[in-house]
Structure 1
Amino acid sequence: MTTQPTAKRSLSASRPVLSVIIIELLLLIAMTAAGAYATIKELSYTSPVLIAFIPIALALIIYMSLRRKWGQYGFRSLRGLASGGWRYYAPLALVCAVLCFKGFEALTVTKVAFFLFFTLLVAFVEETIYRGLILNILLPKGAMTAVVVSSVLFSVTHMLNMLSGQSLGQTILQLAYSLLVGLALALLMVKDRLIWPLILFHFVHNLVQFLGKEGEFVVLDSLVLAILAVHCAWIMAGMAKGRRRIAAGAKSAHLT
């Protein structure tokens, strides 16, 4: 009697927590090294992201192409979105609209073109890593565990902005802000398994922020935080309602 050899499980499947730690550490090391290099060379504040994220983006594209992982990480047709599902993305559009009320700096074609590329790069890399790779790896541990951990890591990574001279107060505010954004986007990813709308929001959100006026906008920032908090609660309520509907349908089918 012969025994069939067991298939070798990947590290992400057999050791999901270790895999996430490795991914996060590699990202932090890349960003820290890029920030240190940019500081020594006295480069612009966008240089650390470009230095770190361009090779990371290329590595992600090559990895997902060779391993055929695009669909697994949410790069699927938008036709898969359930009827009426788009309403859960409306608050994200509202957030971008509110941010526009801050106004914009003087714009040039060169500046707009640069930040179009820059923010699209950031949106692709961060969404693919946090809502694609990390969230997907942690899902076997439970949906809420995956949502919370991926969002906390997404928030903590923004502490690296202190390396570019950002104040402690601004960094704390950004940590809370990015945590709520991460929670909302992670919940949507669990709900719909679509990453395109998340990349689009991340891209537009960052573009508006970078082209917008600098300064303190306490009222607008507070409004955005409130919108995001309500949004997270709404998504979770909708997901809970959907689970109850499925459970009720399964019970009804069993009884008949």
Structure 2
Amino acid sequence: MNKNQIKESIGRIPFTENRPILSVVIIELLLVAAMFIAGAYATIQELDYTAPVLIAFIPVSLVLIVCLTWKKSWKRYGFRPISHIPVQGWMYYLPLLLVLACIAFNGFRAFTLREALFFVFFTLMVGFVEETVYRGLILHILLRKKSAVTAVAISSLLFSVTHVLNLLSGQSIENTVVQLVYALLTGAALSLLILKNKNIIPLIAYHFIHNLLQFLGQDGRSVSVWDYVILGVLLLHCVWLIVSLKRDAAWKQPAGASKSWV
């Protein structure tokens, strides 16, 4: 093969395969930039605290839907019927049910039907966007060239980093640290789950219910003992999934061998 043929061959390889790390960094920066711009606009206009996410995520969700449909790549990023999940695979979601129960134990505030319906839409959109970006696009891009360990670590770190913006909201250092660790462990657990069962639908459903319970929970509450229980559950969940993936020989696959996960 001569130089021209080599260049032509390289040119046909998608940018995400040639530069996986750079690709996910660009995706992360675009998402953070969208949130920053939306937040600045919402602050200037003195809009509701949910406005920045709405302003940023509505167009992002539309772009994702259009792109996935146009490229016929829904299945590639884990959008499969839940009937494809093996019966024994469902037991790996049980710790997530325990997490949801712990959140519910923190209690709920009074809310109207209109508020509840709004938060159903709001949290469902957030769950779809964040799972599609982090456990769909980013994890998939990394798995094409990197090991499962690297892919899970990077996607989870990026997911956690997006929550550092909460440092600007005036909350306590303890709240922020707990939230960052919470996001990191949640990102790791959900990434491991999609490696295990190859389906993003249960992850979106969990993300949606998790956020909905939090938004309908007590306003302005500080870190409680249940938050630390959740961190322990998530940590043990990650260990359990890693052990299971090692047993399935899906954890130490060489780079490029994980392409068939979707």
> Partner residue of 1:252?
none
Q: What is aligned with 2:248? A: 242
Aligned residues with identical type, % of pairs: 52
Cα deviation, residue 123, structure 1: 0.2
Which of 9-18 and 197-206 deviates more? 9-18
Match of 1:188 among 189, 193, 199: 193
Matched residue, 1:56: 60
Partners of 2:83 and 2:214 lie apart in 1 by 30
Equivalent position of 2:259 in the other structure = none
Corresponding residue number in structure 1 for 2:229: 223
Matched to 2:13, the amino acid is: R
Cα deviation, residue 168, structure 1: 3.6
Q: Give the counterpart of 2:31 among 27, 33, 39.
A: 27
TM-score by length of 2: 0.89
Residue 145 of structure 1, aligned match among 126, 141, 150 = 150
**1:136 equivalent in alignment to 2:140:** yes
Larger Rg: 1
Give the CA deviation at 1:188. Answer: 0.5
Q: Matches of 2:93 and 2:131 in 1, distance apart?
A: 16
CA–CA separation in structure 2 for the residues paired with 1:222 and 1:71: 36
Task: Say whether residues 1:85 and 2:101 are aligned partners.
Answer: no
Give the one of 56, 62, 72 matched to 1:68. 72
Q: 1:150 to 1:228 in 2, by over 3 A?
A: same
Contact 2:99 2:230 in 1 (8 A): yes
Give the TM-score taking structure 1 as reference length.
0.91
Count of residue correspondences: 245
RMSD over aligned Cα, in angstroms? 2.0
Q: Which amino acid aligns with 1:19?
A: S
Asked if structure 2 preserves the Cα contact closer than 8 Å seen for 1:185 and 1:198, the reply is yes
- Unpaired runs of 5+ residues, structure 2, are 254-262
Conserved? CA contact 1:31–1:160, under 8 Å: no
Which of 4, 15, 21 in structure 2 is aligned with 1:17? 21
| Match among 3, 8, 28 for residue 12 of structure 2 | 8
Q: 1:207: which partner in 2?
A: 212
Stretch of structure 1 that moved more, 169-178 or 49-58 = 169-178
The residue that corresponds to 1:37 in the other structure is 41
Instruction: Report the Cα distance in structure 2 between the residues aligned to 1:161 and 1:216, rounded to whole angstroms.
Output: 14
SS in 1 for 2:48: coil
| Alpha-carbon separation, structure 2, partners of 1:51 and 1:99 | 27
Q: Which residue type is aligned with residue 225 of structure 2?
A: V
Structure 1 SS opposite 2:76: coil
Is the alpha carbon distance of 1:164 and 1:38 closer, same or farther for their aligned partners in structure 2, counting shifts above 3 Å? farther
Residue of structure 2 in register with 1:251 after alignment = none
Q: Distance in 2 between matches of 1:105 and 1:241?
A: 44
SS at match of 1:243: coil
Amino acid at match of 2:130: E
